[in-house]
């Protein structure tokens, strides 16, 4: 499916305008068409994919193990199924080098998404380590150039994994954030940082919108907003909760032979209607 540059530009500008410190964009991450439509139906202003949730749905592990083609085919399905802007989590870019990241960005735009998350964690041989900041900046710059050449103001959200990987604190995070912003990143995503004092320091020290990843134990959205956060997402949290329900229901059915876990499920008609069908 192809998308006109005008449509993509308008969606990208709309998505970009939603990042307001103090009035954050809230993104319940989706991983397939059904979850994306449920998120949109709940009132979300945009849909963000979770790379891990999407990979699991396709039978692959997270961590740069999913083929780019399969990943972006799924993103295209999501983008084509909702009316709000879509931003795609593309892990570290589904590529070995900057030009490969540029190829991924061109494919993201072809899929109809107008934002990307690009992380600086090294996978494979460098499992758990962070890519050197200068090298990561080159990858972000390549993504920026590819989007600019296409005439679309793609929102590049640079993920800094210092807190997530225990590879540094506020100072190291701000250094990376500055390098990534200089390379063309629009926003900075710091998963693993939810302590109010740290979040406040990051929001004040980053020259651009700050995205944090929330979940059980994190401050409520209103509190994060007061700290200056511009975007709140939940990563694979909803996907993991959904899969936990599948496991509980299966174990109950196969164990006690009862069905209590199934109580409270969405009714058939509601879900079928959301997918464009009748009851």
- How long a stretch of residues is the chain? 279
pLDDT band at 64 (very low <50, low <70, confident <90, very high): confident
Mean pLDDT of the chain: 96
Distance (Å) of CA 246 to CA 11, 127, 163, 241: 35, 30, 31, 9
pLDDT band at 11 (very low <50, low <70, confident <90, very high): very high
Residue 1: pLDDT over 80: no
What pLDDT, in 10s, does the model give residues 27-55?
999 999 999 999 999 999 999 999 999 99
**Neighbouring C-beta atoms of residue 205, cutoff 10 Å:** 16
Tell me the CATH architecture of domain 5-235. Answer: Alpha-Beta Barrel (3.20)
- In the chain, the percentage of residues whose pLDDT exceeds 90 is 94
Joined together, the tokens standing for residue 40 give: 């949109």
What pLDDT is recorded for position 277? 76
In contact, 111 and 90? CB cutoff 8 Å: no
Distance (Å) of CA 7 to CA 39, 85, 114: 22, 10, 10
The pTM of the full predicted model, rounded to 2 decimals, is 0.95
Residue predicted with more confidence, 171 or 3: 171
Q: Which residues pair with 157 in a beta bridge?
A: 117, 187
Each domain of the chain, given as residue ranges in start order, spans 5-235, 236-279
Residue 279: pLDDT over 60: no
What residue spans of the chain are helical by DSSP H? 5-16, 33-41, 51-57, 68-81, 98-111, 133-150, 170-182, 196-205, 221-226, 237-255, 268-274
36: Cβ contacts below 8 Å, ≥ 6 apart: 30, 47, 49, 78, 81, 82, 86
| Gap between the Cα atoms of 275 and 83, Å rounded | 13
Say if residue 217 is exposed, middle or buried (CB neighbours under 10 Å; 0-12, 13-18, 19+): exposed
Distance (Å) of CA 79 to CA 46, 47, 239: 10, 8, 18
Residue 126: pLDDT over 60: no
CA-based R_g, the chain, Å = 19
What pLDDT is recorded for position 17? 98
Specify the 3-state DSSP secondary structure of 184.
coil
Residue 154: pLDDT over 90: yes
pLDDT band at 3 (very low <50, low <70, confident <90, very high): confident
Say if residue 58 is exposed, middle or buried (CB neighbours under 10 Å; 0-12, 13-18, 19+): middle
């Amino acid at each position: 499916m192809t998308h006109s540059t005008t449509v993509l530009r308008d969606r990208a500008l709309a998505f970009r305008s939603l990042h307001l410190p103090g009035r954050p964009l809230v993104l319940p991450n989706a991983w397939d068409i059904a979850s994306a439509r449920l998120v949109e139906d709940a009132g979300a202003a945009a849909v963000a994919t979770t790379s891990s949730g999407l990979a699991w749905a396709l039978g692959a592990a997270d961590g740069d193990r999913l083929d780019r083609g399969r990943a972006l085919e799924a993103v295209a399905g999501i983008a084509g199924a909702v009316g709000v802007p879509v931003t795609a989590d593309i892990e570290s870019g589904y590529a070995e080098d900057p030009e490969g990241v540029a190829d991924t960005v061109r494919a993201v735009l072809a899929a109809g998404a107008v934002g990307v998350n690009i992380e600086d964690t090294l996978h494979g041989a460098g499992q758990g380590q962070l890519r050197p900041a200068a090298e990561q900046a080159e990858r972000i710059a390549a993504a920026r150039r590819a989007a600019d050449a296409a005439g679309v103001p793609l929102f590049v959200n640079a993920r800094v994994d210092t807190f997530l990987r225990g590879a540094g604190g506020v100072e190291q995070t701000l250094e990376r954030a500055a390098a990534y912003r200089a390379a063309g990143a629009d926003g900075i995503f710091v998963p693993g940082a939810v302590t109010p004092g740290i979040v406040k320091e990051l929001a004040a020290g980053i020259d651009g919108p700050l995205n944090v990843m929330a979940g059980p134990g994190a401050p409520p959205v209103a509190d994060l907003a007061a700290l200056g956060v511009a975007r709140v997402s939940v990563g694979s949290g909803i996907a993991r909760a959904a899969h936990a329900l599948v496991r509980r229901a299966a174990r109950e059915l196969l164990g006690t032979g009862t069905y209590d876990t199934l109580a409270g499920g969405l009714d058939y008609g509601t879900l079928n209607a959301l997918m464009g069908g009748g009851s």
